Copies of this chain bind each other. A is one copy, B any other.
Amino acid sequence: MKPTRRIPAATISRLPLYLRELEELTAGGEDVVSSRVLSDLTRFTSEQIRKDLAYFGAFGRRGIGYSVRHLAASIRQILGIADEPELALVGAGRLGTALLRYLSRRHAGLAVGPVFDSDPKKAMGSVEGYTVLPADAITEEVQRRQIRLAAITVPAPAAAQVFAALVAGGVRAVLNFAPVKLQHPDVFVNNLDLATELQALAFYGQLREGKADEGAGA
């Protein structure tokens, strides 16, 4: 709403989790929720929840709690998913189509935008009901449709080029699944490689003499 101060990245990553629970509460017919109840649902402390929300304004009523519907709407506004922005997808392989399904099935506040693939066999075909465009068209199409968000699910060697094409088209934030670290001064990149994620997991799966560690992730 009013991003006055600098918002911690950890706070942003928690907002979607609050929203998820708020949507459950809405479905359950709940009108009001306290930070304590949200704490029980999300396992974050109630102080943390209040502080996270307070970065963006005062949404609650003292002595009462938060309006479930209003808070959900506010979080959607904050995250920028209230107007359902389109996401460009590059790479129509297994992971890419999995993402497509996620977006079309669950109502996450994001719409499926243009889908690209560099494989000529896939390009101009159709995946999950969406037309697949050739990778050459990325910059032009992204620019024409004013796309700000993109996900990259291509093999490592193609990632850098695809990223450059997206950036040239004006994309502002990218979720990159390729095992390459992408970066650009004007673009937010979340590099999320499943293989490295699994390797980190392996560390915690080792049998250790002491007690098992708790939590963490994302």
Residues of chain A whose beta carbon lies under 8 Å from any beta carbon of chain B: 3, 9, 12-13, 15-17, 19-20, 42-43, 78-81, 85, 87, 93-95, 97-99, 101-103, 106, 108-110, 148-149, 151, 171-175, 179, 181, 183, 185-208, 212-218
Q: Is the interface of A mostly helix, strand, loop or mixed?
A: mixed
Instruction: Give Cα A97 to B200, complex, Å.
Output: 20
Output the least CB separation between A157 and chain B (Å). 12
Not counting A94-B101, A108-B198, A190-B217, a sample of 11 additional A-B residue pairs whose C-beta atoms are within 8 angstroms of each other reads A3-B208, A13-B196, A16-B195, A20-B196, A79-B202, A85-B205, A103-B195, A108-B199, A151-B198, A173-B202, A189-B217
Alpha-carbon distance A181/B215, docked complex (angstroms):
10
Jot down 8 A-B pairs with beta carbons below 8 A, ordered by A.
A12-B203, A16-B195, A16-B200, A80-B203, A98-B194, A108-B195, A175-B197, A192-B218
Determine how close the nearest CB of chain B comes to the CB of A180; give it in whole angstroms: 9
A200 to B79, CA, bound (A): 7
Q: Is the CB of A181 within 8 A of B99?
A: no
- Of B9, B16, B173, which contacts A205 at CB under 8 A? B173
Q: 3 closest pairs, A vs B, by CB?
A: A173-B205, A94-B98, A16-B196
Contact of A79 among B85, B203, B214, B218 (CB under 8 A): B203
Residues of B near A171 (CB, < 8 A) are 205
| A176 smallest CB distance to B (angstroms) | 9
**Contact indicator A212/B200 (Cβ below 8 Å):** no
Nearest CB of B to A122, in Å = 15
